[in-house]
Amino acid sequence: MKEETVQKPKLKLAVYWGAACGGCCVSVLDVHEKLLDVIAAADLVFWPIALDTKYKDVEAMPDKYIDVTLYNGAVRNSENEHIAKLLRKKSKVLVAYGSCAHLGGIPGLANFTTKEAIFKRVYETSESTVNPDKILPQTHFEVDEGILELPEFYNDVRSLNQVVDVDYYLPGCPPQSERLLEVFMLIATGATLPPPGSVVGASEKTQCDECKRVKTENKKVKRFYRPIDIKDDGVTCFLEQGVICMGPATRAGCGVRCIEGNAPCRGCYGPAEAVIDPGAKMLSAIATMIDSNDEKEIEKAVETIDDPAGTFYRFSLPASILRRALV
């Protein structure tokens, strides 16, 4: 029998970070030995953490040259935005990889404040900073030898789909490496992909569906507690202990990682269904738990919730309806 060896063209893969922590890139590396499988099925054509491909090289690629780009990180400055647009042009499929790209992520908490306040804190009032001349980083600065440039720091953080069209979302901070592999193998084997705009690499269920903590249907509380206020028994559902856990409003897929470490979920996998406001559902769920019909008592219970905005929107402030605080 004659064997036919049809060489399937290798996928061209790019991984880029915007305003990111690097954890998403590490999650790609953390497929460990499987990285070799990935490399066997795909050529990495751009990946700043690992390769020395420069922006110029990307610019020189024909449009749609890259099969799949995993963009991680939020859009925080002009460089992030520029490269997001560039990669959109050069890629057939653009994936918002990780919470930052998906919903704005932790860097998105900066939408509680302003560029001015951040600059002032970091470069002027920080206790360790000595800056009598109030020097701030400049986008163009003339040194003796020429002009040095820096990207412009924006006032607002945006998620990737607020800047360019996104084909898929792979949630998580960072996405679990196994989920990435599953999705990658789907793409590499040419399987039919879900319709554009879908969340991939995560479940339809919620964290609560996968959580092993003991829960009853009776989630009623007179007040809420912070994790420091209780002696967690390691067994009972956090919400039933009165501690806010984003489990009911968060998509499953991480393997309830934080809860395994005895910490309540903070929602990095994003909302469980396509909703227009990631924190709203959680707010409703929490409010419903308050065990009182009395206005004063309800007020008191609400008072025990510190930082609702920063909790319900821990990973998603830029993707919320209000998008930023008015300051």
Partner 1 sequence: MEFKPTIVAFLCNWCSYTGADLAGTSRMKYKPNIRVIRVMCSGRVDPTFVYKSFREGADGVLICGCHPGDCHYQEGNYKCLRRFKLMKKYITQMGIEPERLHLEWISASEGKQFAELVDSMTERIKELGPSQVKQVAETLAI
Partner 2 sequence: MKRITIDPITRLEGHGKIEIFLKDDGGVENVYFQVPELRGFEQFCVGRPVEELSQIVTKICGVCPGCHHMASGKAADAVYGVEPPPTAKKLRELFYMAHFVHSHIAHFYALAAPDFVVGPTADPALRNIIGVIEKVGVPIGTEVIKQRRIAQEIQALLGGHQTHVVMNIPGGVRKGLTSDERDDIVKKAEGFVEFSKFSMNLFKDVVLGNQTYLDIILNGPYALKIHSMGLVDANNHVNFYDGKVRVVDTEGNEICKYGPNEYLNFIAEHVEPWSYLKFPYIKAKGWTGFVEGQDSGVYHATPLGRLNAADGMATPIAQEEYEIMYKTLGGKPVHNTLAMHWARLIELIYSAERSLELARDPDITGKELRAPLDNVPSEGVGIVEAQRGTLTHHYWTDEKGIVTKVNIIVGTTNNNAPICMSIKKAAEGLIKKDTEVTEGILNMIEMAFRAYDPCFSCATHSLPGQMRMELVLKDTKGKTIRTIKRS
Q: Give the residues lining the site for ligand SF4 (CB under 6 A).
A: 20-21, 23-24, 72-73, 98-100, 105-106, 173-174, 207-208, 211, 213, 215, 237-239, 245, 247-248, 250, 254, 256-259, 264-269
Task: Please identify which residue in 41, 48, 185, 280 interacts with partner 2, judged by CB under 8 A.
Answer: 48
Which among 90-98, 126-134, 148-156, 228-236 is the span making contact with partner 1, rule CB under 8 A? 148-156
Only one residue has tokens 């919620």, namely 206
Helix (H) or strand (E) holding 70: strand 66-72
What does the buried/exposed string (b/e) look like for 53-82 if buried means 16 or more CB atoms within 10 Å of the residue's CB? Answer: eeeeebeebeeeebbbbbbbbbbbbebbbe
Q: Which CB atom, from 213 or from 324, has the smaller least distance to partner 1?
A: 324
Contact between residue 167 and residue 196 where contact means Cβ atoms under 8 Å apart: yes
- Tell me how far apart the alpha carbons of residues 41 and 162 are, in angstroms, rounded to a whole number: 31
- Nearest distance, CB of residue 325 and partner 1, angstroms: 4
Q: Which CB atom, from 126 or from 288, has the smaller least distance to partner 2?
A: 126
The listed partner (ligand SF4, partner 2, partner 1, none) that binds 270, CB under 5 to 8 Å by sort, is: none
Q: Within positions 6 to 45, which residues make up the interface with partner 2, using CB under 8 A?
A: 17, 19-27, 29-30, 32-33, 35, 39, 43-45
Rg (CA), the chain: 23
Which among 122-130, 190-198, 207-215, 281-289 is the span making contact with partner 2, rule CB under 8 A? 122-130
Distances (CA, A) of 289 to 121, 168, 214, 219: 38, 34, 17, 6
> Regarding beta strands 91-97 and 66-72, do their DSSP bridges make them parallel or antiparallel, or are they unpaired?
parallel
Q: Which CB atom, from 149 or from 209, has the smaller least distance to partner 2?
A: 149
- Tell me how far apart the alpha carbons of residues 207 and 272 are, in angstroms, rounded to a whole number: 9
- Nearest distance, CB of residue 181 and ligand SF4, angstroms: 17
- Of 300, 308, 286, 307, give the one whose Cα is nearest residue 242: 286
Which among 5-13, 30-38, 51-59, 275-283 is the span making contact with partner 1, rule CB under 8 A? 275-283
- Nearest distance, CB of residue 124 and partner 2, angstroms: 9
- For residue 281, which phi and psi values (nearest 5 degrees)? -65, -40
Q: Which spans of this chain sit near partner 1 (rule: CB under 8 A)?
A: 112, 154-156, 158, 162, 275-277, 279-280, 283-284, 286-288, 290, 293, 295, 298-299, 302, 305, 307-310, 312, 320-327
